[in-house]
Amino acid sequence: MPDRAPAAPAVPAVPSLQPTRDPRVTLDDLLEVVLNKGAVLHLDLIIAVADIPLIGVNVRAAIAGMETMLEYGMLRQWDEATRAWAERSGSRGLELRDGERLITRMFGGHRLTGEVYSGWRPGSVHLTDRRLVVLRREPREVLWEAELAELESAALETERAVGGEDRTRLRLRLRDGGEALLSAAEPERLHRELLEQTPGAKALAAADGGGGGTAGPAGKDGHEGHLWYHEPRRGGAMWRGGRGRLDAGGLSWKSPVDARPALVLAPGDLLGVRLEERDNPAGSPYTLVLDTPGGEVVLAADALPDWTGPLHRMAAGGTGQEDGESPERRRDDGGPHR
């Protein structure tokens, strides 16, 4: 990946393309952008039809986008007002009780264990400050639900999935003796946030000893989960939340609002891995810096060790020793912090 400086060469090798505003060519695009984008005044000010502010497509797109972001755990960085708005407006989501707050939600499912039928029923897992609910949207059905007050213990355990790979599941026990097995896009994060909400519940180590296991869908020496990417812009980089995936093919990162992965790094492009003390939106004092032929790639994660180990091994050509636990303490003089 050669890096291109945006500076203009003295004699451009190829002529520059010119943008067009010709309505005959751009009309459909203009319609789409005016209907789907543009600002909206405060909802209290504007005309509503049947209590829905009249911002049609725009609001629908925003809600759809927010639902996705909730599922990806991106709204953790949002201010309370926006969050509350998103929580209220996800009409297809969980109906919250008065004063109930949605903490997180992600794709997941509930293991139905019946006499006639056993199987995973997919939906989305909603954790609020009062309940844990697995909800299916279409057709709408609460697949499983428990009050947090009823929760006795929560444990992560590893299950060999149908395809032969190991999957981390969440095993829950209730005070009344009930039990449930849930799947989740990010079981470790769900487990952690669930225990934060339920101090009374025990965090049991899993029966198979793989309680903190990172064996996700990426296989034994890979990892997959929420990851922040400091994506470059002309005026400085921006932190964006998304999903990272590390496997034999390299590292990729994709935001739920992008069409394809914005970061694709082949194993051979990873020249070095280090941790630096820089500001980042994750809960970690360290930011992950990767050296690549195209320059630095800057990432942040809530659970750094899950990423540093496999990355170090990838940088060392798959044979290196893991030393991701001992960050190089380098001061970052990268300019003004916010």
Partner 1 sequence: MSDTPTGTHPGATTGHSGPEPGEPPRALYVYALLPDPGEALPDTVTGIDGRPLRLVGDGPGGPVALVHATAPAPYQGPDEDVRRWIVEHDRAVDAAWQLTGAVLPMTFNVLVRPEEGRSAEQRLLSWLAERRDELTARLDELAGHAELQVEITLDREAAAVSNERARSLMADMAESSPGVRRLLAKRLEMARREASEQLADTLYADARRRLAAVSEDLQDRRRAVRDPGETDVLSVSLLVRQDGIETVGRVLAEIQDEQPAVRIRFLGPWPPYSFADLGHGPGGAEEAPPGRAVPGLRT
208 touching partner 1, by CB under 8 A: no
Q: Is 207 in the site for partner 1 (CB under 8 A)?
A: no
In single-letter form, the type of residue at position 63 comes to: I
Nearer to partner 1, 21 or 140 (CB): 21
| 331 is a contact residue toward partner 1 (CB under 8 A) | no
49 vs 116, beta carbon nearer partner 1: 49
Q: Between residue 257 and residue 296, which ones bind partner 1 under the rule CB under 8 A?
A: 257-264, 278-281, 294-296
Long-range contacts of 291-294 (CB under 8 A, 24+ apart): 292/1, 292/265, 293/1, 293/2, 293/269, 294/1, 294/2, 294/3, 294/269
Residue 32 binds partner 1, judged by CB under 8 A: yes
User: CA-to-CA distance for 168 and 172, rounded, in angstroms?
Assistant: 13
Q: Does 329 help bind partner 1 (rule: CB under 8 A)?
A: no
- Could you tell me which stretch among 152-160, 173-181, 252-260, 318-326 binds partner 1 (CB under 8 A)? 252-260
Residue 161 found at the interface with partner 1 (CB under 8 A): no
Q: Is 63 in the site for partner 1 (CB under 8 A)?
A: yes
Determine how many CB atoms are found less than 10 A away from the CB of residue 96. 18
Closest CB to partner 1 among residues 61, 204: 61
Stretch that binds partner 1, among 113-121, 193-201, 228-236, 311-319 (CB under 8 A): 228-236
Q: Which residues contact 148 (CB under 8 A, 6 or more apart)?
A: 129, 130, 131, 132, 194, 197, 198, 201
Select the residue interacting with partner 1 from 10, 11, 39, 116 (CB under 8 A). 39
Residue 61 makes contact with partner 1 by CB under 8 A: yes
Please pick, from the candidates 119, 178, 232, 268, the single residue that binds partner 1 as defined by CB under 8 A.
232
Question: Could you tell me the smallest distance in angstroms from the CB atom of residue 259 to partner 1?
Answer: 6
Q: Which stretch binds partner 1 (CB under 8 A): 35-43, 126-134, 199-207, 217-225?
A: 35-43
- Tell whether the torsion through CA atoms of 134, 137, 143 and 147 is positive or negative: positive
Pairing of strands 151-160, 202-204: parallel
* CA angle centred on 73, ends 72 and 75, rounded to 5°: 115
Of the CA atoms within 13 Å of residue 61, those in its CB half-sphere come to 14
Answer yes or no whether residue 41 interacts with partner 1 by CB under 8 A.
Answer: yes
SS3 string of 259-273? CCCCEEECHHHCCEE
Q: Is 26 in the site for partner 1 (CB under 8 A)?
A: yes
Rounded least distance, CB 65 to partner 1, Å: 7
Phi, psi of 28 (to 5 degrees): -60, -40
Give the H or E element holding residue 225.
Answer: strand 223-231
Determine if 13 is a binding residue for partner 1 (CB under 8 A): yes
Buried b (16+ CB within 10 A) or exposed e, 73-91: bbbbeeeeeebebbbebbe
Q: Which of 70, 74, 133, 303 is in the footprint of partner 1 by CB under 8 A? A: 74
* Segment near partner 1 (CB under 8 A); pick from 36-44, 138-146, 150-158, 301-309: 36-44
